[in-house]
A = this chain, B = another copy of it.
């Protein structure tokens, strides 16, 4: 399992304020903490101000690279922001994201192909998120047609099957899990990533639902999670799931995490 650290996201209030106030320390701390927590990529989302996105993205990229060596996941559908960021990155980044929406696909895919990036591809199109496994898989098939036509190899594509909250439809979890299995079977070279916290929107005890869904999604074939790498309970579930699925040779990662105190509930602050 690999982790995309989700915290540097300008749609979150505290991050938006840090960007607006040019609070470098806040952003760099988020970067350092996520790397310490085990992030393999750091997502970078400069927020929702198109007029400022290029400047804000460049400021974030420079700052983050000042304290971390892990590759970035450039989270934008704005080709100008992506192109500017690509001129500044030290390592080839992941692009987050394309989808079956024609505008997004036409704007972003050429950049992905030109720079040899990995890319997250959302299983949705201009009609929204399909309600069935078969319809979601149809979107995924069309996405692979265009990524292959653009010479992006399947192994650089991270399909996000998407999940909606089970608070409004209790089938939502199963649809996503079955989509993961279907994509894994049909496109074995591709990766599956998932921003999974939507699943619990509107429910109580969301952390329990999210970490349980993480376990189910890993078992179904997800190999990359978009999470907070310092969410202790999520990480504990991840270590235990990898262990139980035979992905942790000699239980080394699990026992090491235990010795670091990562598997038991955190002490309450005094």
Contacts and interface: CB of A to CB of B under 8 A. Distances in A.
A215 interface: yes
Interface in A219-270: 219-220, 236-237, 240-241, 243-246, 248-251, 254-255, 258, 263-265
Determine chain A's interface SS by DSSP, over half rule.
helix
B241 A174 contact: no
Contacts of A166: 243-244, 246, 251
B264 A205 contact: yes
Interface stretch (A72-80, A136-144, A206-214): A206-214
Interface in A9-54: none
A185 interface: no
Given A209-B244, A244-B199, A167 B251 contact: yes
Interface of A: 166-167, 170-171, 173-174, 177, 199, 203-205, 208-209, 212-213, 215-216, 219-220, 236-237, 240-241, 243-246, 248-251, 254-255, 258, 263-265
